[in-house]
Structure 1
């Protein structure tokens, strides 16, 4: 039972294998020497990460989503750095606004959307809707 609650809740967590699988998919799409169109690449990365996040949005996963965003951002920046032969100052010049905030990575009208922006609904009370085969009278 959760502390301060009078009802039981089910907490689910993201497995390490699931995290490794999404990392492998992002890694496969963003090799350093990739010459794929950036707009198509961003669209595909958005599809993969947001589909994965939609599946795990009911888990205790906010930090996992943040770490996935960080991993994806680093892979994209590393790929763009090699592709355009940019230094760190070139990246900052292109992706940091004058007020110091980072702009999202965009290409051809497609924007890389953060996974951590997906709302997480953790506490789902399921009540008596689930029957228990070991307790008589609940089936």
Structure 2
């Protein structure tokens, strides 16, 4: 199991690429003011239909931050789709840890509960991308060849 999803295994790179496709599909609409307005309306309608709350009214600052986030995530997603590397999974897992903290913080402080749906995916992709690195590091630390004993001079 550890070797199957080791950071250097091709199955791990498929996970890195899958998380990138998810990011591209979910965040492409955030990258421009015009598409963000459409996404904002769709998310508000979904939140209202599910009883999870609506997004606050659009304003220029909210749109700016959504566009900045969308633009950066689209570029990051394209990099991972076109040239997936194991280290991209490590960095993406770290970024998802940060995103997860903020996605949990916002609804805990009054933002629409609709954000919890995104949190589930962020945590899942974060775990799947970080655990192999944690296991690889742990197993390398447990390897007797990597243990140096103090000199007995």
Length-normalised TM-score, structure 2: 0.28
Q: Which has the higher contact order (CA 8 A, sep 6+)?
A: 1
Please state which structure has a larger fraction of its residues in helix: 2
